[in-house]
Structures are given as structure tokens and as C-alpha cells.
Chains A and B, each alone.
Chain A
Amino acid sequence: MNSIVMKQDASTAIRELLAYLLSSSRVDAVLTMRQVPETGSCDLGLITDPSGMVEAEPFLPVMTANAGQALSSISMSGKRIAAVLKPCELRGFTERVKREQGSFDNLLTISSICGGVFPLEKVISGDLEKLVPRYIEKTARAEAPRGLRETCKACEEFVPMNADISVSVTEHGSLMHLHSDRAEEYTEGFEGERIEARADQSHIDRMMKSRSAAKGKLFQSLEKSSGLDGLVDLFGKCVGCHGCSRVCPICYCQHCDFESINFDYNQPYFQESLEARGALRLPPDTILFQLGRLTHMSFSCVGCGMCSDVCPVSIPVAGIFKKTGERTAGLFDYVPGRDSEEPIPVMVFKEEELGDIG
């Protein structure tokens, strides 16, 4: 595969590429993580001026919002956009494209072999500055940095699946791999030595080993929440804010059924419930909400971990969705976000399948 050798560190090189894309008018805007130098605060930003690139931190290990979700509406504006996405953000976006909530038509996607991101609490507490240098050092050696999101530690899909350009960073240097014609076309004229190279497989294998072990541990830790009592225990502290679905890159419905009048209970309902059970939990339907979301989108869950990160009462939502999602997607040999042409399992069927599921 055609690759560009990056002389400086990966962030600087990608910043230069993005500035080049903007100044040569190949793209109209760039979507990337930014960090404001004075305050250290970070966010996801859309930049149109090459001079704005100084604030760009394309590989900042933080996810303030799943960029796949953010990209959804702007990708259909008709403007040409280069977007730096983490592999799960790209997969989330791909799932949205399948739901006609986005388009690859005017998009150049840049992703990287991902070391994971830190929970948002690390950003709020101001620890990020200290954590990032060590993070870069550790991920270059294929070691797992401490303090990452639980789902990141257990993520086995850290290699981008369908990016135009992917970046790999190892101890031996950084490479920009060009996967598509669009990548070749957009990077034409950009300085840098071209070589024939692939991402270092042994580096990926070493990362995979620790990820798989962490995944086993994560799934095992969720076993104790199994069964009706386990779920009651787990979701007993749910405050019903529905934040998990708002930040989810897959949950795109503007009018979520769970926020509709269907679940706006009235006096007779409460009365009936009280008579049947002698008590009533408020807010109601916290387990129904999560079970319902699982049936609606678990097979498309990309395991980005946003839901757990925003949960005000620390329910491990992401772990549950990842664990169950792998099983529901597995029924149809489906891998969420693998290929934008692969149809969503609930939109298609085979005449002969699934046997006797009664």
C-alpha cells in the first residue's frame, strides 16, 4: 500500500496535511479535536482557516462527543470536509450513513490505530496535560496506558476499517497509509517520502493481546449484573436522563419513542401499578429503556463508550451494550461500521435462516 513517511510526530504531520488540504482548496473545512493553548480546554471543532490549525490536536486521546455523530449533518452540507476520526467514530459514522444520516460523498476520512481515550472526568480534573505525554510513549510501544475508558481498554477494533487515510505510530516511526483513490488524489503534491508499506502487524498483535485480555475481564465483571435482580441492582440508580442515548452515535431518532407520549404515564397507570405491586419506582421504565435500546441498536454498537462516560451515576452502559451487541450482531455475522455497503441486520432478511427460534 502506498504510504507517506512522516518525519515529525504524527500530530504535527497531520496538522500540516490538514493545513495543506485547506490552503490548496481541496477541502472547505476540517473536523478535528482542538485544544485551546491558554486554557487547555478541548473540544471537537470545524476549522476553515489554515491558520486555525495551531489549535488542532488531531490525536488528542479524548472524545468530547462521538465525532461520527457530529459529522452526520455537516457531511450532507455539500461542502468538502476532511475529518480526523477515531476508528469507532468512523464506524459510528458509517452506521449513520447506512441510516441515511450522513454521506461519504464529499468526505476525506483520516483515522489512526487508536490507543484509546481518557474519560471526560480526566479533562475536567485537569489531569489530561500530565497524562498525554505518557500516553503517546506507551501506545508507541503497544502498551496499554492507565486510566483509559473501560471500553477502550477492551476494544479490539482499534485498527480503522474503512478510512481513506490511516496513521500508524510505532517506536520506529510514523506512517500515513493511503487506502483509497481519494486519498491519493487529495495528498498529491503534499511533501513526504512515498514508500510501499503496511501498518506493523506485530505492533497490532501486541496491542490486540492486552485488549482481548481486558475484554475478557470486562465481560466477566458484568456477569454479576445478570438476571432480573442483577439488572434491578444495576439500573436501580438510573436517573432516567437518557443522556446515554443522546450521545450515542447510533441513536439518531429526533423523536425518540421513549421520550414520546407513549411513555408519558398518567394517573390511572400509576394507580394500577400501585395496586398490582404495592409500590412504584420513579422514574419508571429505566430497565425497559435500556432493553428497548438494545433491541433497536445493539447490533450496531461500535463500543465508543460515550454512554458510560456521560452517565451521571456511573452505570457501565457501554460494557453492557458492547457485550450484548457482539452477540446480537454475531447472529448475522455483522460487524458494525465495517463497510457502508453492508446492510443493517434488521433491514434485510434471508428466506431460510435462524432455524426454529420459537
Chain B
Amino acid sequence: MISDKHDDFTPRITSFLCKWCSYTGADLAGTNRLQYPTSIIPIQVMCSSRVDPVFLIKAFLSGSDGVLMGGCHPGDCHYETGNYHTRRRFAILKEIFDSLGLESDRLKLSWISASEGPKFAQVSNEYTEQIRKMGKNPTRKSVFL
């Protein structure tokens, strides 16, 4: 049951995870039986650069409390350069959020490799905690978006 109290609600974090690194990292965390919160809602994508920033905005405006973008470490992209493009687009998106006074902390970019199951669990836990402190995304209930 989702409570309205800020400190004990379960955030919804829409997570775009690349098939080759972050999603595999999440899988590894699972097979290693590492604990990470149910707040992470994973969506597998072929590459982080496949994600149009519009997807992230859509998730944000649809009421996701946080939006996580996971990709391979720079230099390790399965398609060689995809994540470098992701990094630029993400920086642009954050800048736009900042310039319009939107909460850019609700967007997160993280590089998690296929072997970093523990890092995936750690990022999930920390980000969930951070979002929990921020409270629910006001877009959850806002009608006129």
C-alpha cells in the first residue's frame, strides 16, 4: 500500500537499462541474491542511446518519482560510442530541467557494467533513499500537463 507520508512511501523509479551492461548487472544482482528495493521498474533497451530524452520526460510527467538511465561505462559501449551520445543528451536534459526550475535530481544517469551486480544494488538503494527524501513527484496528481 502506497502511503502519502514522505518518509515511508515506495517511490516509483522508471529505469531504462541497456541490455548489454546495466540490465545484465541487474540480473546479476538478482542471481547473487542481493537486496534492492522494489521501487526500480526496469525497462530493457538495446542501448542507452536508443532512449530519446522524450521518454525520460514522459516518465517524469507521468508521475515517476525518479527516472534512472543505466548504460555501459564510457568506452565500453557494446556499440562502441552509444553511451557518449547518451551522456551529452542527458547533460542537455538536466540543463533544461534546471533552467526551467524542474527537479533535475529526479533524473539519474549511472554507468553499471554487466559484472557490477553489487553496484546495481547499491545505486538502486541509494537513489531510492534519495527520492524518498524528496517525496512524491508532484506530477503524479497534476492534471494539466
How many A-B pairs have beta carbons closer than 8 Å: the answer is: 110
> Does B143 lie within 8 Å of A358, measured CB to CB?
no
> Does A228 lie within 8 Å of B94, measured CB to CB?
no
Bound complex: CA of A30 vs CA of B35, how far in Å? 69
> Does A327 lie within 8 Å of B95, measured CB to CB?
yes
- Which residues of the other chain, B, contact A286 by a CB distance below 8 angstroms? 145
B20 within 8 A of A: no
Q: Mark A325-358, 1 if CB is under 8 A from B, else 0.
A: 0011001100000000000011001110110011
* Stretch with Cβ within 8 A of B (4 or more), from A59-67, A148-156, A182-190, A289-297: A289-297
> Does B92 lie within 8 Å of A298, measured CB to CB?
yes
B74 within 8 A of A: yes
> Does A280 lie within 8 Å of B143, measured CB to CB?
yes
> Does A287 lie within 8 Å of B96, measured CB to CB?
no
- Which residues of the other chain, B, contact A332 by a CB distance below 8 angstroms? 88
> Does A349 lie within 8 Å of B57, measured CB to CB?
no
Interchain CB contact (< 8 A) of A346 among B89, B141, B142:
B89
The chain B residue sitting closest to A279, CB to CB, is B143
Q: Mark B101-116, 1 if CB is under 8 A from A, else 0.
A: 1100000111000000
- Which residues of the other chain, A, contact B33 by a CB distance below 8 angstroms? none
Bound complex: CA of A278 vs CA of B88, how far in Å? 37
- Which residues of the other chain, B, contact A295 by a CB distance below 8 angstroms? 52-54, 57, 89, 92-93, 96
Q: Mark A57-81, 1 if CB is under 8 A from B, else 0.
A: 0000000000000000000000000
Given contacts A227-B101, A349-B84, contact A358 B109 (CB under 8 A): yes
> Does A227 lie within 8 Å of B58, measured CB to CB?
no
* Stretch with Cβ within 8 A of B (4 or more), from A95-103, A229-237, A304-312: A229-237
The chain B residue sitting closest to A291, CB to CB, is B57
Residue of B89, B91, B138 contacting most chain A CB atoms (<10 Å): B91
A253 within 8 A of B: no
Given contacts A349-B81, A354-B87, contact A228 B96 (CB under 8 A): no
Interface residues of B (CB under 8 A from A): 52-54, 57-58, 61, 63, 74-75, 81, 84-85, 87-96, 98-102, 108-110, 138-145
Interface residues of A (CB under 8 A from B): 226-228, 230-232, 236, 257, 276-281, 284-288, 291-292, 294-296, 298-299, 320, 323-324, 327-328, 331-332, 345-346, 349-351, 353-354, 357-358
